[in-house]
């Protein structure tokens, strides 16, 4: 019989699936206790399980709600960044198309033209906004509308980012709370198994009937296609033709010390590596096939990134 305390471990990559399985397992356990509660002999066990199960269900619900809220505020933050990019591009047109604008003025706003605007990230958005507001202040007589626009966008982004950060903290606190409730419930389950074992010590196997082990037994519905190969330095090797879906994943492993490999999925075997990923020597990593080009290509190719040594590699194609 599977140990009940195994439930305290995450069974799958998605923690929500694991939580669902735990809830189903103990709901089933409660129903089995209630169905065979002769003279109330299971009341003490039910009194332990049911309140703790209710707490866990509530905690999982709170976590899901907080996750949804965080996602919504992430979208708000991303929209705010999008608004900043649009405003910056419009300002670029205004500054560069205004007659008599000096190169000094243009560089104060856009020292790299639109390059940093197009590649704006969480790390660069605030410095870019600060630069645009400073330049708008310096050249307010020439471009009187820009300072108000960028100041408002700075406030909008700051509020969105602050709200998202707050919710990230809430979500991060949810996980330990849920895990603690799960662990307590697992300990109660272990106690109940002991109680039932004593109660039915003269009926071998009876105690096990109060737990449906199939609910918490991980079932792997994936298929794995493993291909091994050897490449000389710099060689690009065809591995296999595959029709990838959104669920297809590809794992690349380097099996030789000092030899790094890259993988891509190409339309034609002779196409250049554009969408490719690499692994260091003696390391392995798994990617979505679409990340490697599998949304358009069908040919899995491995490239040796070594300049001097032959190397062994392994590709695993994982499908639902």
Considering the domain architecture, whether residues 134 and 102 belong to the same structural domain is answered as yes
Residue 63's Cβ-count burial label (10 Å; 0-12, 13-18, 19+) is buried
Considering the domain architecture, whether residues 105 and 227 belong to the same structural domain is answered as no
Residue 191's Cβ-count burial label (10 Å; 0-12, 13-18, 19+) is middle
Considering the domain architecture, whether residues 131 and 76 belong to the same structural domain is answered as yes
Q: Under a CB-based contact definition with an 8 Å cutoff, are residues 207 and 25 in contact?
A: no
Q: Under a CB-based contact definition with an 8 Å cutoff, are residues 244 and 294 in contact?
A: yes
Q: In what order do the strands lie in the sheet with 261-266?
A: 236-241, 299-304, 261-266, 276-279
Considering the domain architecture, whether residues 64 and 81 belong to the same structural domain is answered as yes
- Looking at residue 102, its pLDDT comes to 87
- Last residue within a domain, chosen from 219, 251, 272: 219
E strands present in the chain: 223-231, 236-241, 249-254, 261-266, 276-279, 284-288, 299-304, 311-319
- Last residue within a domain, chosen from 190, 219, 248: 219
The structure tokens 């007589």 sit at: 141
pLDDT digit string, tens, across residues 14-45: 444 567 788 888 889 899 999 999 999 999 99
Q: Report how far residue 193's alpha carbon sits from residue 25's, in angstroms, rounded to the nearest whole number.
A: 13
Give every CB contact of residue 282 below 8 A, 6+ residues apart in sequence: 254, 255, 256, 257
Considering the domain architecture, whether residues 271 and 169 belong to the same structural domain is answered as no
- Looking at residue 169, its pLDDT comes to 55
- Looking at residue 9, its pLDDT comes to 43
Beta carbons within 10 angstroms of residue 248's beta carbon? 18
Q: CATH no. for residue 311? A: 2.60.120.380
Helix, strand, coil shares of the chain as percentages rounded to 5?
55, 15, 30
Q: What is the torsion angle, in degrees rounded to the nearest 10, for the CA atoms of residue 157, residue 158, residue 163 and residue 165? A: 110
- Last residue within a domain, chosen from 204, 219, 234: 219
Domain of 315, in residue numbers: 223-319
Q: Report how far residue 32's alpha carbon sits from residue 200's, in angstroms, rounded to the nearest whole number.
A: 15
Considering the domain architecture, whether residues 142 and 248 belong to the same structural domain is answered as no
pLDDT digit string, tens, across residues 127-162: 888 888 899 999 988 898 888 888 888 888 777 777
Considering the domain architecture, whether residues 236 and 193 belong to the same structural domain is answered as no
- Looking at residue 166, its pLDDT comes to 61
| Structure token pair of residue 17 | 């699936």
| Structure token pair of residue 318 | 């994982």
Considering the domain architecture, whether residues 24 and 80 belong to the same structural domain is answered as yes
pTM given for the model: 0.41
| Structure token pair of residue 88 | 């910056």
Considering the domain architecture, whether residues 158 and 77 belong to the same structural domain is answered as yes
Considering the domain architecture, whether residues 253 and 138 belong to the same structural domain is answered as no
Q: Report how far residue 136's alpha carbon sits from residue 143's, in angstroms, rounded to the nearest whole number.
A: 7
The segments of the chain whose pLDDT lies below 50 read 1-16
Q: Report how far residue 169's alpha carbon sits from residue 192's, in angstroms, rounded to the nearest whole number.
A: 36
Could you give the number of structural domains in the chain? 2
Considering the domain architecture, whether residues 304 and 232 belong to the same structural domain is answered as yes
Pairing assessment for the beta strands 284-288 and 299-304 based on DSSP bridges: unpaired
Considering the domain architecture, whether residues 89 and 111 belong to the same structural domain is answered as yes
DSSP state letters, 106-154: HHHH-TTTTHHHHT--TTTHHHHHHHHHHHHHHTTTTSTTHHHHHHHHH
């Amino acid at each position: 019989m599977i140990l009940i305390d195994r439930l305290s471990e995450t069974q799958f990559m998605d923690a929500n699936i694991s939580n669902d399985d735990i809830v189903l397992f103990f709901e089933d356990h409660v129903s089995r206790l209630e169905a065979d509660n002769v003279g109330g002999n299971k009341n003490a066990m039910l009194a332990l399980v049911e309140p703790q199960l209710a707490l866990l269900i509530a905690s999982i619900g709170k976590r899901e709600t907080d996750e949804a809220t965080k996602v919504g505020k992430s979208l708000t933050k991303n929209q705010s960044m999008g608004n900043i990019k649009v405003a910056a591009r419009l300002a670029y047109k205004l500054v560069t198309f205004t007659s008599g604008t000096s190169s000094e003025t243009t560089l104060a706003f856009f020292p790299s033209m639109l390059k940093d605007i197009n590649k704006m990230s969480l790390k660069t958005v605030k410095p870019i906004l600060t630069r645009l507001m400073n330049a708008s202040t310096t050249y307010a007589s020439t471009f009187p509308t820009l300072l108000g626009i960028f100041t408002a966008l700075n406030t909008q982004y700051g509020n969105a980012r602050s709200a998202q950060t707050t919710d990230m903290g809430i979500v991060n606190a949810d996980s330990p709370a849920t895990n603690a409730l799960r662990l307590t419930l697992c300990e109660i389950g272990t106690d109940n198994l002991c109680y039932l074992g004593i109660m039915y010590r003269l009926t071998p196997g009876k105690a096990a009937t109060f737990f449906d082990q199939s609910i918490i037994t991980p079932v792997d519905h994936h298929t794995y296609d493993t291909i091994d190969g050897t490449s000389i330095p710099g060689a690009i090797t065809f591995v296999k033709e595959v029709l990838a879906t959104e669920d297809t994943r590809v794992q690349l492993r380097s099996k030789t010390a000092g030899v790094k490999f890259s993988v891509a999925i190409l339309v034609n075997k002779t196409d250049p590596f554009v969408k490719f990923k690499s692994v260091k020597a003696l390391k392995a990593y798994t990617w979505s096939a679409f990340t490697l080009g599998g949304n358009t290509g069908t040919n899995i190719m491995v490239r040796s990134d070594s300049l001097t040594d032959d190397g062994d590699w392994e590709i695993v194609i994982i499908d639902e």
